[in-house]
Structure 1
Amino acid sequence: MEFTTEGLAALSKAIAIVGTGFASAWAEKVIGTAAVGAMVENESIFGKALVLTVLPETIVIFGLVVAILI
């Protein structure tokens, strides 16, 4: 079985996107759960909790940039 350069590049791009997608989903789940628990105690931290929940999405952007650079 021969591996072509184009095939390995496509596989590398897929791994970069999928890996960062899973990492972002896991981080968002953990932070979202903690944010909801904290908002039950104190409703005034909604803005901070929202920002912290959206922050892991930047991980996917980094993966997209790496895939484009490959």
Structure 2
Amino acid sequence: MLIIALSTNIAMLCLVSAVLQIVLPNDAPQWLIFGNIVVFVACVYYTYKAVTVWPDEEKAATIS
């Protein structure tokens, strides 16, 4: 559960950072914006994988 929370928070941080770097007039390098987007996609994927393999309570009860 902690992994899901952490990866979701990092994903939101990267998304907000990338949007602000695109919208606000500054001299942010393009690789920094691209890096934030890549980390966002990776965290969303990691969260998706963590949620989809989360054990079902009924299935876990029958196994043990």
TM-score range for the pair, normalised by the shorter chain length: 0.3 to 0.5
Higher RCO structure (Cα 8 Å, ≥6 apart): 1
More helix by proportion, 1 or 2? 1
